[in-house]
Amino acid sequence: MFTLAHLSDPHLGPLPPVRWRDLASKRAFGYVNWRRGRSAALGPASLRHLVADLQAHRPDHVAVTGDLVNLGLPAEIEAAHTWLAALGGPREVSVVPGNHDAYLPGALRHYTDLWAPYMSGDDGRPGFPYVRIRGPVAIVGVSSAIATAPLMATGRVGQRQSEVLAERLAALGGEGLFRVVLIHHPPAERSTPWHKRLTDAARFRAVVARAGAELVLHGHNHATGVVAIAGPEGPVPVVGATSASLHAAPGHPGGSYLLYRIRRGEGGFLCDMEERGPAHAGGAIGTLSRRRLEGPVSPAG
């Protein structure tokens, strides 16, 4: 059995000191948003407890589906690199970037250089889509991170990346591997508001419908959910993870992470999903839900 852990949107905080000239751009909107609400809803203490529980389960691999930082500041990107090193080595952790990581073009260039060991294929070359084979599982990292205008949080895969993705998924399927695609933005229809959408989601779905995949993992929505998109042999589960830094509130669970236990069964693979996190404010981290991932599937409650 192969165990894959999945967490997303840690939005690592607190923010480093911000100079006024750092806010002479889209960052001004993000800074106000952080100060007015996000800093209260998300926090490093919640994330630390969650990561400790994750590491205690000793997964075979960890997938992080973007938004490690908030404003794309150089100090944030460097702090995220330190956090990744504590989470695990580059061979044990795979990362794809989110829209907050690519807040501005300069941020995109900075994280591409610094996080490259966590975003490279087995050949050691950075770039997307990358492929990492771990046992019976092929981890395929796709970037949907682009710098956008103020008040926008859209993503895009692009034609060239989509073409290469189709080739690699088809080849990996021919090898009989369990293909897990990592992407930040949700690819299913009507899965996110217009200003936060994956602008070429239809193209991504067409790739999966033609070439196939066993599982697609994403973040972005700060909510755990399971839907499906079409594959060549039936529905492909698409799982979104909530923010791993979310504070639990009365009557509401906090941040969580997901464990996927993948094993070969008769005629194919079986994949069981467990969500772990605190069920309420002050609660210990435990199992929030369990389910077998198989199509067709419906939104998680």
In this prediction, residue 77 has a pLDDT band, given cuts at 50, 70 and 90, of very high
pLDDT category at 16 given cuts 50, 70, 90 is: low
**What is the CA 221 to chain-centroid distance, rounded?**
10
Question: What would the two tokens of residue 33 be?
Answer: 């948003």
Give mean pLDDT, residues 109-127: 91
Secondary structure letter of residue 278 according to DSSP: E
Beta-bridged to residue 96, according to DSSP, are: 65
Lowest mean pLDDT among 29-33, 166-170, 248-252: 29-33
Q: Are 205 and 231 in contact (CB under 8 A)?
A: no
* pLDDT in the model for residue 298: 34
Kind of pairing, strands 215-218 and 178-182?
parallel
Q: Tokens standing for 192?
A: 């996110």
Q: Over 60: is that where the pLDDT of 31 sits? A: no
Report whether 182 contacts 141 (CB < 8 A).
Answer: yes
pLDDT at site 71: 87
Which DSSP state fits 282? T
Domain ranges of the chain: 2-264+274-292
pLDDT value of position 297: 35
- For residue 132, is pLDDT > 50? yes
Work out the pLDDT band at 301, boundaries 50, 70, 90.
Answer: very low
Whether the per-residue pLDDT at 32 is higher than 80: the answer is no
Average pLDDT, integer, range 277-289: 88
Please give the share of the chain, as a percent, with pLDDT higher than 70: 88
Which of the four pLDDT bands, split at 50, 70 and 90, describes residue 189?
Answer: very high
* Residue whose C-alpha is closest to residue 57's, from 88, 31, 34, 84: 88
Q: What's the average model confidence in pLDDT over 265-273?
A: 89
Distance between alpha carbon 245 and the CA centroid of its chain, in Å? 13
Q: Residue 268's pLDDT is what?
A: 84
| 284-296 tens-digit pLDDT | 899 999 999 974 3
- pLDDT tens track for 217-242: 999 999 999 999 999 999 999 999 99
Helix, strand, coil shares of the chain, percent, nearest 5, are 30, 30, 40
Write out the two tokens for 268.
Answer: 């194919």
9: left (phi over 0), alpha (psi -120 to 50) or beta: left
Nearest to 215 by CA among 188, 180, 247: 180
- Average pLDDT (147-176) is 95
What pLDDT is attached to residue 68?
96
Mean pLDDT of 239-258: 88
Q: Is the confidence at residue 110, as pLDDT, over 90?
A: no
Helix (H, G, I), strand (E, B) or coil at 272: strand
| Across 261-280, average pLDDT | 91
For the segment 73-83, the average pLDDT, to the nearest whole number, is 93
Mean pLDDT value of segment 169-190: 97
Q: What percent of the chain has pLDDT over 90?
A: 69
Which one-letter DSSP state was computed for residue 108? H
**Integer Rg of the chain from CA:** 18
- Contacting residues for 159 by C-beta, under 8 A, at least 6 apart: 203
pLDDT-derived band at 150 (thresholds 50, 70, 90) equals: confident
Intra-chain end-to-end CA distance of the chain, in Å: 27
Q: Kindly tell me if the per-residue pLDDT of 283 is higher than 70.
A: yes
Please state the rounded mean pLDDT for residues 259-267.
90
- Assigned CATH for 2-264+274-292: 3.60.21.10
C-alpha–C-alpha distance, residues 199 and 154, integer Å = 7
- What does the pLDDT read at residue 217? 98
CA angle 63, 213, 289 (to 5 degrees): 55
